[in-house]
C-alpha cells in the first residue's frame, strides 16, 4: 500500500512539474551556426505560436511516457519509457526557454493536454506492451512529420527555433526506431487516423491558446 501511495505521489509531482515548473535540461540548448536575423512582430508571433505547439507536444509526451511506465509490468520496458521521458524533458526545457526568448507563453490549456495524454497512455498501456510500444512508435512518427512541417513554417530569420526543432526531430525519429526495436506492434489504420485527428485538434487550439 505504501509503495502504491508513493507511486501516486510521484505521478502527481511529475504532472505538476511538467505543467507548472521550469524544467532543467540535461543537454545544452541547440544553437544555430548563424545569429538570428531581425524579425517583425508578426514573425515573432508566428514563431511563438509554433513553439507553443511544440511545447504542448512535449507536455503530452511526458504524460504519455509516465502513464505507459506505470502500466507496464516489464522492468526493462519501464526503464525504456523513463529514459525516453528524461530525454523529452530536454525538449520541454528547450521549447519553454525559446517561448520566453520570443516573448510568448505556454498554452493556458496545458493541464488539460497533460490529463488527456495521460489517459491515452493508460489506455495504450492496458492493451499490452506490443501495442503500447506501437502507440509510441506511431506517435513519434507523427510528431516527426509535424516538426518537419514547422521547419517550413518558421520565419526565415528565426535560426534559434529552427535549431531546436531540428534536434527534436532527430530525437523523435530515434525514439520511434527504439520502440520498433523493443517490439512495437503496427497499429491498425483507423487508430492512426484517430491519432492524427486528435493531434490536429491539439495543434490548432494550442497555436492560439
183: alpha, beta or left, given left = phi > 0 and alpha = psi -120 to 50? left
Q: Which domains does the chain have, with CATH numbers?
A: 40-206 (1.20.1260.10)
Inform me whether the pLDDT recorded for 39 exceeds 70: yes
Highest mean pLDDT among 10-24, 137-151, 156-170 belongs to 156-170
Higher pLDDT, 17 or 26: 26
Mean pLDDT on 37-49: 94
Q: What is the separation, in whole angstroms, between the first and last Cα of the chain?
A: 40
For the segment 87-109, the average pLDDT, to the nearest whole number, is 92
| Site of grid cell 532527430 | 170
58 pLDDT higher than 80: yes
Q: pLDDT, tens digit, for every residue of 173-185?
A: 998 898 898 888 8
Amino acid at each position: 500500500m505504501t509503495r502504491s501511495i508513493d507511486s501516486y505521489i510521484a505521478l502527481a509531482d511529475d504532472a505538476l512539474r511538467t505543467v507548472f515548473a521550469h524544467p532543467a535540461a540535461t543537454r545544452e540548448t541547440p544553437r544555430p551556426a548563424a545569429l538570428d536575423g531581425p524579425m517583425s512582430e508578426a514573425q515573432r508571433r508566428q514563431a511563438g505560436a509554433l513553439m507553443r505547439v511544440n511545447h504542448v507536444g512535449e507536455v503530452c509526451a511526458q504524460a504519455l511516457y509516465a502513464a505507459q511506465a506505470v502500466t507496464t509490468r516489464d522492468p526493462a520496458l519501464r526503464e525504456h519509457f523513463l529514459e525516453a521521458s528524461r530525454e523529452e524533458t530536454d525538449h520541454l526545457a528547450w521549447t519553454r526557454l525559446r517561448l520566453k526568448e520570443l516573448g510568448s507563453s505556454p498554452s493556458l490549456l496545458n493541464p488539460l493536454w497533460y490529463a488527456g495524454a495521460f489517459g491515452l497512455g493508460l489506455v495504450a498501456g492496458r492493451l499490452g506492451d506490443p501495442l503500447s510500444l506501437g502507440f509510441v512508435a506511431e506517435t513519434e512518427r507523427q510528431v516527426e512529420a509535424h516538426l518537419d512541417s514547422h521547419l517550413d513554417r518558421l520565419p526565415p530569420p528565426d535560426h534559434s527555433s529552427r535549431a531546436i526543432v531540428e534536434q527534436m526531430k532527430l530525437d523523435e525519429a530515434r525514439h520511434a526506431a527504439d520502440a520498433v526495436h523493443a517490439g512495437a506492434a503496427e497499429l491498425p489504420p483507423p487508430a492512426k487516423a484517430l491519432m492524427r485527428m486528435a493531434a490536429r485538434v491539439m495543434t490548432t487550439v494550442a497555436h492560439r491558446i
